[in-house]
Chains A and B, each alone.
Chain A
Amino acid sequence: MRVVIGEDLALLRDGLTRLLEASGFEVVGAVSDAPSAAALLERDDIDVAVLDIRMPPTFTNEGLKLALAARQRRPGMPIVVLSQFVEQLYARELLESGEGGLGYLLKDRVADVDEFVAAVRQVAAGGTVLDPKVVASLLSRASAREPLARLTPREREVLRLIAQGRSNAGIAAGLFLSEKAIGKHINNIFTKLDLPMAADDNRRVLAVLAYLQAADSPTR
């Protein structure tokens, strides 16, 4: 699997390169600023990009802008955006297109190598992976609303993991339950929230996220 990396801190860039190469990725480019990352993203032979959100020249959110621009040109282009901080605002902007192949994670997550690599693979395969912090804040905002308040604690747990982008198997492993039990919970959740049962995992994630974000979205 071919990956490009955009990260301005040499320490992290080298670490990411090493980590991904050790996990069977081929790192075809690792650059340290937004213009070179933009040039790399033009290439059509890459399977996934990992971008730091804050890079030279302005050190603000060029990684996010690069991701949005690249995905406008090539819808669904798999990109993992990494950041020191997560903002719901940015998650919302990234998810707006409704396309999969997207990850938005705290940099901290690289500490769990297996999970991080799994997330990159999942994004490369067209999945959506959101940082647990974003999901937690989404849920706390939405949980006061009526239909969500009717979920059992267990169902809420499952919903949280769905929103992070976990597969049934992933959720089952996380909660020490059988996949069958998870399937039942998911059925209940979708019924209670009145969501149409989605065909594949990624569509399911997007449906749940859209539902959570719709909660009285602020107007400007």
Chain B
Amino acid sequence: MSRPVRSAIYPASVTVLRALPRNVAVQLGVGAAICLAMIVIWTGTGGYFWPRWVLFGVGVILALQIAPRLAWRLPPGRRRRLALHLALDAVIGPLEVIVWALSGGGLFWPAYPLAALTIAFALHAWLEYQRPDSHERELTSRIDVLTRSRRGALDTQAAELRRIERDLHDGAQARLVSLGMSLGLAEKLLETDPEGAAKLLAEARSSTLSALDDLRTVMQAIHPSVLADRGLPGAIEALALDVSVPVEITYDVAGYASPPIESAMYFAVAECLANVVKHSHARRATVRVEHRDGRLVAIVADDGIGGARLGFGSGLQGIADRLEAFDGGLRLRSPDGGPTTVTMEVPCELSSART
């Protein structure tokens, strides 16, 4: 939009104009043109300034269009309802005063309807504030959900950290302790019993291998390297290569989700595929990942025996908790006899580059 006029009211009027839909703007233009034409005709004929009735009519129509629309821009709820009421009053009130003025003044009769309008508005406002707003109720329940899911996420996270600590303690750490013992003993035996020392050293070496295995498992459970390397599509492809059931992957996401969401989705798909292998007796499975309506959606389906239930193990429930922390969720369709479809989704915006 160009800026032909620089006046004090310009910014405000432009804001209002921009806020209006195109058809209202067109009506505004047409209305102004009609009024202008009538005034031009009147300058020819002269006499009683009759175009004021045209101006009045056009003005009423436009005001009735614009005022409610502006009020409608508020978020739904009692503020919007009151604003709508006020917008109507703002048209009807001045309308009556103008009619009074145009019809030649006299006794100020609009005082009565104006008073009625004011009382009606006050009553409406009082009623609105008597009961809790539905919008507010919605917000309150949402806060409840968020509090619950945050607590759930924190619980899940704390449980996960405990599990990692236990894995490290029972696995790698225990093995390193025994490794130290074997090495110490071997050192002692070196002189007196070289053969025994060699045996201990061999044991020590195999102990390091097991410790490495343990560490690897823990590290992969925290953040799989292939996810860091390749992002979600590559990581899901790698998952599919590691399960014994053939998996068909469709990855239809034009962009990158944020790392926490990618990670949550990765572990969700990993758990579903693990379930397919463990429970489903399926002959094949499909994984479909897509982005629609602002949500990242992953669907894992198999042609197995079905009967999957939330809460029977920690796997599916864990996914549900994790996704809920992102404001997402899990839907399970798994009738007895199959097939099973797990749909997981998280609201998420995509970025064009990996972060």
Docked CA distance A140–B228 (Å): 26
- Please determine whether B249 and A219 come into contact, CB atoms closer than 8 angstroms: yes
How many A residues touch B, CB cutoff 8 Å? 25
Partner of B216, one of A84, A216, A220: A84
Residue B226 CB within 8 A of the other chain = yes
Docked CA distance A216–B240 (Å): 11
- Please determine whether B212 and A89 come into contact, CB atoms closer than 8 angstroms: no
Chain A residues whose CB sits within 8 angstroms of the CB of B240 once the complex forms: 218
Task: Tell me which of A54, A61, A89, A90 has the highest count of chain B C-beta atoms within 10 A of its own C-beta.
Answer: A89
Residue A144 CB within 8 A of the other chain = yes
With contacts A85-B216, A88-B238, A220-B237 taken as known, whether A144 is within 8 angstroms of B208 at the C-beta atoms is no
Instruction: Name B247's closest neighbour in chain A (CB-CB).
Output: A218
A138 to chain B, nearest CB (A): 9
Chain A residues whose CB sits within 8 angstroms of the CB of B220 once the complex forms: 85
Residue B241 CB within 8 A of the other chain = yes
Task: Tell me which of A60, A87, A92, A216 has the highest count of chain B C-beta atoms within 10 A of its own C-beta.
Answer: A87
Residue A137 CB within 8 A of the other chain = yes
B221 to chain A, nearest CB (A): 12
B interface, over-half SS: helix
Residue A45 CB within 8 A of the other chain = no
**Which residues between 169 and 205 of chain B lie within 8 Å of chain A, taking CB atoms?**
205
- Please determine whether B244 and A140 come into contact, CB atoms closer than 8 angstroms: yes
Task: Tell me which of B240, B241, B250 has the highest count of chain A C-beta atoms within 10 A of its own C-beta.
Answer: B241
- Please determine whether A54 and B225 come into contact, CB atoms closer than 8 angstroms: yes
Residue A108 CB within 8 A of the other chain = yes
- Please determine whether A85 and B225 come into contact, CB atoms closer than 8 angstroms: yes
Residue B32 CB within 8 A of the other chain = no
Partner of A141, one of B230, B238, B242, B248: B242
Residue A22 CB within 8 A of the other chain = no
Chain B residues whose CB sits within 8 angstroms of the CB of A111 once the complex forms: 205, 208-209
Chain A residues whose CB sits within 8 angstroms of the CB of B251 once the complex forms: 220
How many B residues touch A, CB cutoff 8 Å? 30
- Please determine whether B241 and A89 come into contact, CB atoms closer than 8 angstroms: yes
- Please determine whether A87 and B243 come into contact, CB atoms closer than 8 angstroms: no
- Please determine whether A87 and B209 come into contact, CB atoms closer than 8 angstroms: no
- Please determine whether A215 and B250 come into contact, CB atoms closer than 8 angstroms: no
- Please determine whether B205 and A88 come into contact, CB atoms closer than 8 angstroms: no
- Please determine whether B249 and A220 come into contact, CB atoms closer than 8 angstroms: yes
A65 to chain B, nearest CB (A): 10
Task: Tell me which of B225, B230, B233 has the highest count of chain A C-beta atoms within 10 A of its own C-beta.
Answer: B225
Residue B315 CB within 8 A of the other chain = no
Chain A residues whose CB sits within 8 angstroms of the CB of B241 once the complex forms: 87-89, 92, 137, 141, 218
- Please determine whether A108 and B242 come into contact, CB atoms closer than 8 angstroms: no
Residue B229 CB within 8 A of the other chain = yes
Docked CA distance A187–B241 (Å): 28
Provide the B234-271 mask, 1 if CB < 8 A to any CB of A, else 0.
10011011111011111100000000000000000000
- Please determine whether A141 and B229 come into contact, CB atoms closer than 8 angstroms: no
Instruction: Name A220's closest neighbour in chain B (CB-CB).
Output: B249
Provide the A70-101 mask, 1 if CB < 8 A to any CB of B, else 0.
00000000000000110111101000000000
**Which residues between 197 and 220 of chain A lie within 8 Å of chain B, taking CB atoms?**
215-216, 218-220
Instruction: Name A59's closest neighbour in chain B (CB-CB).
Output: B228
Partner of A108, one of B212, B219, B233: B212
- Please determine whether B246 and A218 come into contact, CB atoms closer than 8 angstroms: yes
Instruction: Name A60's closest neighbour in chain B (CB-CB).
Output: B229
Instruction: Name A138's closest neighbour in chain B (CB-CB).
Output: B241
Instruction: Name A216's closest neighbour in chain B (CB-CB).
Output: B246
Docked CA distance A172–B251 (Å): 45
- Please determine whether B248 and A218 come into contact, CB atoms closer than 8 angstroms: yes
Chain A residues whose CB sits within 8 angstroms of the CB of B213 once the complex forms: 108
Docked CA distance A87–B230 (Å): 12
Docked CA distance A90–B229 (Å): 11
- Please determine whether B225 and A89 come into contact, CB atoms closer than 8 angstroms: no
**Which residues between 134 and 154 of chain A lie within 8 Å of chain B, taking CB atoms?**
137, 140-141, 143-144
Chain A residues whose CB sits within 8 angstroms of the CB of B228 once the complex forms: 59-60
- Please determine whether B229 and A88 come into contact, CB atoms closer than 8 angstroms: no
With contacts A108-B209, A111-B205, A111-B209 taken as known, whether A84 is within 8 angstroms of B246 at the C-beta atoms is no
Chain A residues whose CB sits within 8 angstroms of the CB of B250 once the complex forms: 220
Chain B residues whose CB sits within 8 angstroms of the CB of A143 once the complex forms: 244
Instruction: Name B210's closest neighbour in chain A (CB-CB).
Output: A108
A69 to chain B, nearest CB (A): 16
Task: Tell me which of B208, B216, B244 has the highest count of chain A C-beta atoms within 10 A of its own C-beta.
Answer: B244
Which B residues are closer than 8 A to A by beta carbons? Answer: 205, 208-209, 212-213, 216, 219-220, 224-226, 228-230, 233-234, 237-238, 240-244, 246-251, 284
5 smallest beta-carbon distances between A and B, as pairs: A216-B246, A89-B238, A88-B241, A60-B229, A61-B229
A to B CB contacts below 8 Å, 8 in the list: A85-B216, A89-B226, A89-B238, A90-B226, A106-B212, A216-B284, A218-B240, A219-B248
Please name 16 further chain A to chain B contacts, defined as beta carbons within 8 Å, in addition to the given A87-B225, A87-B241, A218-B240, sorted by A numbering.
A60-B225, A61-B230, A85-B216, A85-B225, A85-B226, A89-B230, A92-B241, A111-B205, A141-B242, A141-B243, A143-B244, A144-B244, A216-B284, A218-B241, A218-B249, A220-B250
